[in-house]
Every structure is written in C-alpha cells, then in structure tokens.
Amino acid sequence: MATGLRFGPLGPRAIHLCVDMQTLFAERTDWHVPWLERVLPAVTRLAEARLERTLFTRFVPPERPEDAAGAWRRYYARWRHMTGERLDSRLIQLVPPLAALVPPATVVDKAHYSPFKEQAFLRLLARLGADELVISGGETDVCVLAAVMDAVDAGYRVILTEDALCSVSDEAHDAMLRQFDARFSQQIEVAQVDEILDGWRAR
C-alpha cells in the first residue's frame, strides 16, 4: 500500500478532524473499541500540535429509539440501552486527555455516522476556510469511513492518519486502508502522524 503525503505538505488551511474519541468507546460498553487507548497518544499529539484547527466530533445517540428516523429507529431498538434515556451522560464526553484540549479545540456533536450531516460542522469548516482534512479517530470502517467519503465528495484533500485510527475489527480496518489506496489514490492519502506534522510545519 502506498503511504505518505503524495501531494506535498499541508497548507495553512488544513484541519484536523478527530472522529468520536469518546469515553463511550474507550470503556467496557457494548460499543467498546479495544485499541482506542493504543492510538490515543498519537491522536493527542496531533491535536496538541494544531489546537485551534482541531475539530472533535462526538456521536450522540437519541434519547430513545422512537426519536430516530427510518432504519436508525430499528438500530436503536437493538441498542436501546445505549440511548440517552439509559446511558450515563458521562460516556458521551471525549476521553479526558482530549477533553482537556477544549477549548481552543472545538467539539461538534453529531447524530449520524458522518459529521457532514450537521450544519454546525459545515459552518465551522467554512469559518476556518478548510480545504484539507487530516482525519483521525474511530472507527475506520464506520464513522471515519462515512466522514471520508463525504469529504471526498465535497472535494477536500483527505489525509488519513494511519497510526491514529482505530476499529473493533483489525481485518476491517486493514481492508478499508487497502480500499482507499486501491480505489481512491487521487483523493485520499494515508500517512503517519510524524510525517503529517513534519509536512504541516513545512509551510
């Protein structure tokens, strides 16, 4: 798999988008992502390097399944104990090392896999003049995937942080990175955090 910043260093308008690094996924819930903790130092280092240009998303379930639309209602009926009326609100928060960075980093809540469905997120991208998105967080094959595809459709340069992504499934994580490289090589780059930071500083 080809990796690295194939299209050169990042510009001053690049944004770090960190997807759903929440206590909900860090602790032993039914949605636990076992190696979130392993990638947390790399995510933290990337965020600390560009605090004013870091956007954290939080996945926020509805209060009850009946509040969701369409197939989401069936989804939350299956995971009723993960809805707002039963879930400890503490679990929605970012993991503590990242929560401590807000502000100057910014949090955007979302009700769907992709933050591009949220007007608040789109307004933030516009206000920051974003043209490149450096994406970290989880899960590679769910919410990160949704954000990546919407970012590609919107025309952003997309850089995935290979050592700052996590998933419940190693196999699915690896398969997604291979798919991005094989089918989206002109729109998606995959690089290590060190190379991204070096490339960002180069401007």
Residues whose CB is less than 8 angstroms from the CB of residue 121 and which lie 6 or more positions away in sequence, other chains included: 55, 57, 108, 110, 115
Q: What is the CB neighbour count within 10 angstroms for residue 12?
A: 10
Mean pLDDT of 65-87: 94
61/92 Cα distance (integer angstroms): 9
Tokens 């929605």 correspond to what residue?
A: 92
What pLDDT digit, counting tens, does each position of 109-160 carry? 999 999 999 999 999 999 999 999 999 999 999 999 999 999 999 999 999 9
> Where do the structural domains in the chain lie, given as residue ranges?
14-64+91-201
Looking at domain 14-64+91-201, its CATH superfamily turns out to be: Isochorismatase-like (3.40.50.850)
Question: Where is 174: in which H helix or E strand?
Answer: helix 170-183
pLDDT of residue 3: 72
